[in-house]
Structure 1
Amino acid sequence: MAASTAAAADLKVVVHGVRPGDGNVRVALYEKAEGFRHEQNARSVLSVPATSGDVSVTFPHLPAGRYAVIAYHDENGNKKLDLLMGMFPQEGWGFSNDPTVIGPPGFDASAFDLADKGANVDVKLHY
């Protein structure tokens, strides 16, 4: 009997509302609450050139499970979301599920289940 392999799914993330400008749209994928919002703790980070309107990225071959996504428009190319006073985003930002944000956003409000067949997730940027 052959050993079974875990199914792998693709996750397509479409980031909506990118405004005209320079830089990239960075999309970070998280698989746990611990370290959420800290890009160095993401499972994976993809970056694509920012174009006005919508951009998309695909995270390939993921195991089914619970994930959350953060996207931001890195207009100045410094690979981080610039914050005023360490709290207020100065660049476009968004989360999966587009939760209402009062204070630091949490993993659970943005989390979704990825099935073996894959999924599409939309993220709306807020400027």
Structure 2
Amino acid sequence: MRTGKYRALAWVAVVIGGVGSARAGDLTVILDGVAHDQGGLRVGLYDRAESFRKEDRAVAIRTAAASPGQASIGFGQVPAGRYAIMAYHDEDGDGGLDRFMGMIPTEGYALSNDPEVSGPPAFDECAFDIPAEGRAITLKLRY
């Protein structure tokens, strides 16, 4: 009887311990096609449609210096789940994506899944899964 009780407690400890440690993995975003070294790069990670593309409501924002070619930006440990990314080359360093007439990006930008858009991109078009072991995703900047 005592052995069964200890086995049950051990099983609970393994399950609880395993859940906490296996639920997050590293996320690395690779931005391909950075045109030049002016300004900086901004990458936003979003976990819901309501906040997508609103930097002040992102799960996390990462920045990096711009350098022609490719940039690798790490988010560290991210809980497993469904996310979308919007990244841009903040060429003038003003902290926002410049747009013509408030709609059409005039600075380089990238979206996860690289959807064809003819208006504001939707979360579902850009959403991808991050498994517990983490992942790397490559995005191509469009200028």
Q: TM-score, normalised by structure 2?
A: 0.85
The equivalences for 1:62-101 within 5 A come to 62-101=78-117
Partner of 2:43: 27
**Following the alignment from structure 2 to structure 1, what is the Cα–Cα distance between the partners of residues 62 and 77?**
14
Tell me the SS of whatever aligns to 2:52: coil
**Following the alignment from structure 2 to structure 1, what is the Cα–Cα distance between the partners of residues 28 and 119?**
28
Give % identity: 46
Q: Answer 1 or 2: which has greater helix percent.
A: 2
Partner of 2:63: 47
Structure 1 ranges of 4+ moved more than 2 A: 1-4
The equivalences for 1:9-24 within 5 A come to 9-24=25-40
Q: Can you list the C-alpha shifts for 1:46-99, whole angstroms capped at 9, x where unaligned?
A: 000000011011111111000011110001111100111100111000101100
Tell me the SS of whatever aligns to 1:109: helix
Residue 41 of structure 1, CA deviation: 1.0
Pair member with larger Rg: 2
Give RMSD over aligned pairs: 1.0
**Following the alignment from structure 1 to structure 2, what is the Cα–Cα distance between the partners of residues 21 and 48?**
11
Tell me the SS of whatever aligns to 1:98: coil
Residue 21 of structure 1, CA deviation: 3.5
Q: TM-score, normalised by structure 1?
A: 0.95
Structure 2 gaps of 5+ residues are 1-8
Aligned pairs, number: 127
